[in-house]
Structure 1
Amino acid sequence: MQPGTPQRLKWQFDEPAPGQEQFIEEVFGNYRQQARLLVPDIERAAPAFVLGGARSDFTRLNPLLYRLQAAGIGSLTGNLSGHSLASEPGAASPSLATNLEEAQRFHSHIALRCRTLIGHSLGAALTLKLAARLPDVDSIVLICPAVYPDEAHQAPFGPAFTAAISKPFGFLDSDSYAFLRQFQGRVLMVIGEYDGLNSQRFGKGPGTSAGNLWLAGSERYSPIPEEVTHALMQAVSAERLQCLFLTDCDHGIAAHLRSTPAIADQVADAVATFILDGS
């Protein structure tokens, strides 16, 4: 554990935390990655482990994680290869499989206490894979969740990865749905109103994403196929599933929470309640 870091200049958002922050540096062969642990002044639940989305570092979800920290719930979030300036140089040819191994190494620092995983977008796909390896996890928060074909996890980020995740309905070829069907814990899904839209309504083929659109007077980004959201919901029994739908929000939920503090307060309250109810 380190109390500070020289990497701050590479962070996407250098904002003061509402409490103590500590840093973990892990060595992966010939490269290093860093994680940040947010420590609440008065702890009300064990720290959650958080996996961010593509092109994000551990500061992207500050609007949620800082509010959780202030509410007594800490979190550990790692920078994963291939996604941000803060994670460079990272692995030589990173993939989802690389990220999953990095995540599990970071998670080991809080594994004896951690029972909650939080995953955002691409990080949600990794969260489901990680949860399948962790029998003590009993609460999962999926924020604008993505799911990718199992074969895509080995593909290096770039053209090979894009090709692997672009096949219509390819996302159904994932064992994460089977994992959720047998998972005995609770799941909270947080979804933007304009994400997971029906692609055929906007002239795209079935089993694909609607992409970038102009809706309700604004440009919207809906990269998650509608069928992914439905498949995830159907994989979790009604008594174990909670859903939070955010109006006027697309896939860019982190930016939405940053620009609308009152909504960020409500989302953080809902996530905190979900975590505390299971502790």
Structure 2
Amino acid sequence: MDFASTTPQRSTWQYDEPAPGTERFVTEQFYGYQQQARLLVPDIERAPPLFVVGGARSDFTRLNPLLYRLQQHGIGSLCANLSGHSLASEPGAPAATLAINREEALRFHQHVASRCTTLVGHSLGGAIALKLAAQLPAVDTLVLICPAVYPDAAHDQPFGPAFTHAIRKPYGFLECDSYDFLRQFPGRVLLVVGEYDGLNSKAYGQGAGTSAGTRWLAGVQRYSPIPEEVTHALLRSVPAPHVECLMLTDCDHGIAAHLRDAPEVADLVAETVAGFILEQR
């Protein structure tokens, strides 16, 4: 693997924080642009490296509060910047889409493919991780953090108005083959969700099969972009013995920010995720 020990892109990162161990960088050339990924290497490895797909408006540093702790638990990770989501990924692909993001992620995954058996997907990255898992027979573990699921038709729509229109169709998220994939998936799934994400849309004056959006609850603004039915559909799609759910109290969709603001919660989440990954190693 052609990994470098330094990168000139640090000034574009969302969070330039020192890693607790070794970090390496790899750059891939695409059609007229390039993207970069970061590999976190533990001092003593306890499991093969994870492949992590970040969320919308994220670069590979957004999940530092979790990935750095997993590195300290002996679990490394490779996470890539994907087109259309951050300063670090600019200029990126013109008219970026989920399908383009998936192809970018798949290219980076090849750097750990010989050993990687676990995918982590955060928010929008959860939708991409599910599609990737369907293409990667070696994957036997999924960690989905406040995951989104989008209609299959939305994956080819450029980010912006066209994509937004495609994902706002009531119950459109059920028009996705990822549920069928999960019903046949022989591995294990961990869902990590916030207490105030996936709120019932009808209870907050919105149409059924849509998100509750941003709400003030007990004087605190809560962001709930994931429709309640998405989480229910995911849980119903995985056989009960193969799925676990970790719910974070006093947390909405912004799990990454919550972990950054509450180190003690980040410690517990990292311990839970590490335990889930190591359970059958």
Tell me the TM-score normalized by structure 2: 0.99
Residue aligning to 1:97 = 99
How many angstroms apart in 2 are the aligned matches of 1:19 and 1:29? Answer: 33
For residue 276 of structure 1, what is the aligned residue in structure 2?
278
Distance (Å, rounded) in 2 between the aligned partners of 1:278 and 1:130? 22
Instruction: Find the counterpart in structure 2 of residue 263 from structure 1.
Output: 265
Distance 2:150 2:193 in 1: 17
1:243-262 to 2 correspondence within 5 Å? 243-262=245-264
1:64-213 mapped onto 2 (5 Å cutoff): 64-213=66-215
Separation in structure 1 between the aligned mates of residue 218 and residue 67 of structure 2, nearest angstrom: 29
In the aligned structure 2, how far is the partner of 1:136 from the partner of 1:216?
45
TM superposition shift of 1:78: 0.3
Match of 1:38 among 37, 40, 50: 40
Equivalent residue number for residue 216 of structure 2: 214
1:118-143 CA-to-partner distances (Å, cap 9, x unmatched) read 00000000000000000000000000
**Residues of 1 paired with 2:279 and 2:134: CA distance?**
22
**Contact conserved, 1:139 with 1:278, CA < 8 A, in 2?**
no
Amino acid at match of 2:37: A
1:44-87 Cα shifts (integer Å, max 9, x gaps): 00000000000000000000000000110000000000000000
3-state secondary structure, aligned to 1:75? strand
1:253 shift after superposition:
0.2
Give the distance between the partners of 2:253 and 2:186, measured in 1 at CA. Answer: 28
Secondary structure in 1 matching 2:245: strand
Structure 2 unaligned residues grouped into runs of 5+ = none
- 1: CA distance, partners of 2:236 / 2:217: 27
Query: Which residue in the other structure is 2:4 paired with?
Result: 2
| Secondary structure class of the residue paired with 1:227 | helix
Conserved? CA contact 1:81–1:91, under 8 Å: yes
What letter is aligned with 2:129? T
Query: Structure 1: which 5+ residue stretches go unaligned?
Result: none
Matched residue count: 279
Aligned match of 1:29: 31
Q: TM-score, normalised by structure 1?
A: 1.00
- Amino acid across the alignment from 1:189: L
**Cα displacement string for residues 237-265 of structure 1 (whole angstroms, at most 9, x for unaligned residues):** 11000000000000000000000000000
- Residue identity in the other structure for 1:126: I
Shift, 1:278, TM fit: 2.8
Correspondence for 2:56 among 42, 54, 58? 54
Which amino acid letter does the alignment assign opposite residue 118 of structure 1?
V
Partners in 1 of 2:31 and 2:90 — Cα distance? 14
% identical aligned pairs: 71
Whole-angstrom CA distance in 1 between matches of 2:37 and 2:211: 31
Q: Distance in 2 between matches of 1:80 and 1:278?
A: 31
In structure 1, what is the Cα distance between the partners aligned to 2:69 and 2:219?
30
Equivalent position amino acid for 2:183 in 1: R
Displaced runs of 4+ in structure 1, greater than 4 A?
none
Q: Which amino acid aligns with 2:17?
A: E
What are the superposed Cα offsets for residues 156-194 of structure 1, whole Å, 9 maximum, x if unpaired?
Answer: 000000000010000000000000000000000000000
